[in-house]
Structure 1
Amino acid sequence: MSDRIRLGGLKARGHHGVYDFERRDGQDFVVDVELELDLARAAATDDVADTVHYGELAGALVEVITGEPVNLIETLAERLATVCLADARVAAATVTVHKPQAPIPHEFADVSVTVRRAR
């Protein structure tokens, strides 16, 4: 599939992590998603009903990020990928979860996990 929709830099506060203070205090998570799907119909009809509404997708992803805590960002990424694949038109989804305030005692630029799930 060569057509893609990308939503990058979606930020929301969640309470994920293995440490008690992460669960208690929360932290920002940044998510990038890329959906693989056929966009020919949407391009031809110029109708949002014929594509994935990225505003609605963003809302559903934020609900997961701000929802039930998990220990690992791997689990969070898997849950987000499931949301992306809920639309039957999506053939595959790549989800990257960034944890910029990860509890690492060294200076770092980014920690992230990427999963790709396909039908």
Structure 2
Amino acid sequence: MAIDKITLKNMKFFAYHGVYEKERLEGQNFFIDVEMYLDLRKPGVTDNLEDTINYSDVYKLVQKITQGNSFKLIEKLAESISGEILSTFTRIETVKVRVRKPQAPIGGVLDWAEVEVERSAHGA
């Protein structure tokens, strides 16, 4: 089976995640990438949306999870997104989710703190 990839890169959502109460009250921007690995030969031949993953549906799912919850850790956010994607879109073999938090309160200068998780539909 071929493993191809669909990527949604740098989705931006304002949300309320963080260990500190101030983060959960004031909110901040989070940037999320999703890489979905699956066989894309059929949609490559048929040119039918029904044979692939609807990008808009994935975006809306990520938005709902990110903006509809308040997690302390971006690790939990990434885990929640990966699990929902795999359970919702059964054609996906593996998913990678990256969550970036530019305003991580670390007491120093950085571009962002980032977490990446990779999960398989088969649990391996």
How far is the alpha carbon of 1:52 from its aligned partner? 0.5
> How do 1:1-119 and structure 2 match up within 5 A?
1-85=2-86, 86-119=88-121
- Letter of the structure 1 residue corresponding to residue 72 of structure 2: N
What value does the CA root-mean-square deviation take over the aligned residues? 0.9
- Letter of the structure 2 residue corresponding to residue 115 of structure 1: V
Q: Which runs of 4+ in 1 moved over 6 A?
A: none
Q: Is the Cα–Cα contact under 8 Å of residues 7 and 34 in structure 2 kept in the other structure? A: yes
The CA deviation string for residues 14-57 of structure 1, in whole angstroms up to 9 with x for no partner, is: 11111010110011100001000000111111011110011111
The CA deviation string for residues 58-114 of structure 1, in whole angstroms up to 9 with x for no partner, is: 011011110111110000000010122121100000000000111121111121000
Matches of 1:46 and 1:56 in 2, distance apart? 18
Unpaired segments ≥5 residues, structure 2 = none
Count residues in correspondence: 119
Unpaired segments ≥5 residues, structure 1 = none
**Percentage of pairs with the same residue:** 37
SS at match of 1:83: helix
